[in-house]
Amino acid sequence: MTSLELGPVLRHVGTTTATVWVETSERCTVEVLGASAPTFQVCGQHYALVVVEGLEPGTCVPYEVRLDGEVVWPIPGLATPPSHLRTRAESDDTGRLRFVYGSCRFPPTDDPELEASLGIDALDAYAARLMDLVGAADDAAEVLPDALCLLGDQVYADEITPRTERWIRENRDPEAGPGLEIADYGEYAHLYAESWTDRELRWLLSTVPTAMIFDDHDVRDDWNTSQTWREQMAAKPWWPQRIRAGLASYWVYQHLGNLDPETRDADPLYRKVIEADGDVFDLLADFAARADAEVGEPTGVRWSYRWDLGRTRLLMVDSRCARVLNEQDRLMINDHSFAWIEENATAAPGEDDVDHLLLGSSIPWLMPPAVSHVQSIDEWAASRGSRLAETVRQAVDLEHWPAFRASFDRLADLVRGVASGPNAPATVCVLSGDVHHSYAAEARYPSPTRSRVYQLTCSPVRNGVPWFMEYVFALGWWRGLTNVLGRVARAAGIGDPPLTWSTIGGPWFGNAVSTLEVTGRQACVRVERSGSRGGLEPVAEIPLT
């Protein structure tokens, strides 16, 4: 009998449609609420995207998954509430929204010492609490969040668990290729299975629409930090297979479900994949190689995407694979991709105005101000051939938006334009992860804006940070140090940032998950941290309007 290997994962949901992703053990037909789709095959793995159409707007219904007519989800004995499909309402006078976000989730392991050092998984703790709420609720829609946003490092291809290390040693020579890192597509598939099969997370992904974007560890630490980094990796004989596998698996496991059905159906690669008879890895590998080789070029490859959640808009920004890293330019996002972001940041003619604009970037835009100056100074020195600056950049991850100063300023201009317009949203929030601590910062421009502007960072869901970095990040908000480094930057000819910002909460350390809650043009953010007893403990609730 064909089995359900992974999923179901609820992805993009509209007013009348919902997309469900699954991985199966064999070729089959997958059915959800009367809608069906055949599987496609990649390196012997089988997948399907089922688009359920004709749903009623603003409804919440339980669902099952069938493979060739046999019910395989829910799994008997898993003891979870039913999974639900909850559609968006066509109009919502309250404008209510619960948007959960976080990043950097190291998977469960079978090593007690490692488990103790990593701590309680905040997303698992959130899921366990939500299961209790749904199980006790008369109407699941009253307690379910509207969306879950995973802001990078869904898997760790370069930092594997003891269980995966044993699996690699049993299946190939651990001294060959990248050693005890992920080498090919099959090993990436193993990573996703390891990360997405624990009971709590599997249920959460099955019932809350989930948006995702990659960060460096989904491929490799410091991915696309600089042209020097790319040259160093290109010299490794195993790298071409690794990058093709990383981007191909991301396309299958994460990217496809990010897209609304209309956008996905218009994608030529997707059409070729679902129409193919046989394994399609070669198609995906060719696409992945092109996407990687043409970093900085206007190729038309766009990993960024848009979700409209009532009058709240999410623009998820690719801040890894859309970079420009040549000698002439150094940009976080190429012109082609940035133009798309600028075009979608405001309502088009005929669209409703946006009350809240969310910009999802795996790496923060507004860092602690002193750290921001350090990153810009390091970029300036590295661009003048300083080997020390390049070494430091890679050693301590000086690769955030301030290390791409031209792009930092362009994003500042974009946000200022949106926040100052006649139909400005109430808030513009940049949601980020990566830095293994959480904080909220408010930005201010020389001329007041109609919108309030925030950087909201939540990381990690489950990982750690060296103890001394807690002091570094806390010191980064100290005004005295910021002023000193600002003078150094000006002496080097680096202009002042076009805005200022200060913390309104944090920094907080430990495994955490955050929730942005919206009612009309009002908004607040709630940060919760996993506690010693396994649940979530409140850290802060901050009004944003």
pLDDT at 150 over 60: yes
The residue type of 238 is W
Enclosing H/E stretch for 124: helix 122-136
The answer to whether position 147 is within a domain reads no
- Nearest CA to 282 out of 238, 245, 237, 242 is that of 245
Q: What integer is the mean pLDDT of 110-138?
A: 94
Question: For the segment 184-235, what is each residue's pLDDT rounded down to a tens digit?
Answer: 999 999 999 999 999 999 999 999 999 999 999 999 999 999 999 999 999 9
Q: What is the domain extent for residue 336? A: 154-425+467-494
Q: Is residue 168 part of a domain?
A: yes
pLDDT of residue 90: 80
Name the more confident of 336 and 420.
Answer: 420
Asked whether residue 328 carries a pLDDT value surpassing 80, the answer given is: no
Is residue 294 pLDDT above 70, yes or no? no
Once rounded to an integer, what is the mean pLDDT over residues 257-261?
Answer: 96
**Does residue 13 sit within a domain?**
no
Residue 346 has a pLDDT of: 85
Tokens in use for 90?
């066509």
The mean pLDDT value of the chain amounts to 94
Proportion of the chain above pLDDT 90, given as a percent? 88
pLDDT tier at 92, thresholds 50, 70, 90 = low
Q: What would the pLDDT profile of 463-482 be if each residue is shown by its tens digit?
A: 988 888 888 899 999 999 99
Count of domains observed in the chain: 1
Contacts of 526 (CB under 8 A, 6+ apart): 514, 515, 517, 538, 540, 541, 542
**Residue 298's pLDDT band (cuts 50, 70, 90):** low
Residue 337 included in any domain: yes
- Is the residue at 224 inside a domain? yes
Strands 29-32 and 35-38: antiparallel
Q: What is the pLDDT of residue 61?
A: 95
pLDDT digits (tens, 9 = 90+) for 502-538: 999 999 999 999 999 999 999 999 999 998 777 899 9
Q: Rounded to the nearest 10 degrees, how much is the dihedral formed by the CA atoms of 110, 114, 116, 117?
A: -160
Question: Stretch 94-123: mean pLDDT, rounded?
Answer: 93
Kindly report, residue by residue over 23-72, the tens digit of the pLDDT: 999 999 999 999 999 999 999 999 999 999 999 999 999 999 999 999 99
Query: Per DSSP, what are the bridge partners of residue 543?
Result: 524
pLDDT at residue 300, rounded to an integer: 66
Which residues in 462-471 are b (16+ Cβ under 10 Å) and which e?
bbbbeeeeee
Averaged pLDDT, 415-433: 96
pLDDT of the residue at 93:
57
How far is the C-alpha of 217 from the C-alpha of 4, rounded, in Å?
27
pLDDT band for 293, please (50, 70, 90 cuts): confident
Question: Do the domain assignments include residue 162?
Answer: yes
| Residue carrying structure tokens 């002042």 | 496
Q: Answer yes or no: is 145 within a domain.
A: no
Q: Establish how many alpha carbons lie within 13 A of residue 361's alpha carbon, considering only the half-sphere containing its beta carbon.
A: 26
In a domain, 488, yes or no: yes
Mean per-residue pLDDT for 250-262?
97
Q: What is the pLDDT of residues 155-190, one digit of tens each?
A: 999 999 999 999 999 999 999 999 999 999 999 999
What pTM was computed for the model?
A: 0.96
- Model pLDDT, residue 531: 83
Q: Which of the four pLDDT bands, split at 50, 70 and 90, describes residue 143? A: very high
Whole-angstrom distance, CA of residue 525 vs CA of residue 26: 43
Query: In percent, how much of the chain has pLDDT > 70?
Result: 98
DSSP string, 306-363: EEEETTEEEEEE--SSS-B-SSS--BSS-HHHHHHHHHHSSPPTTSPPPSEEEEEESS
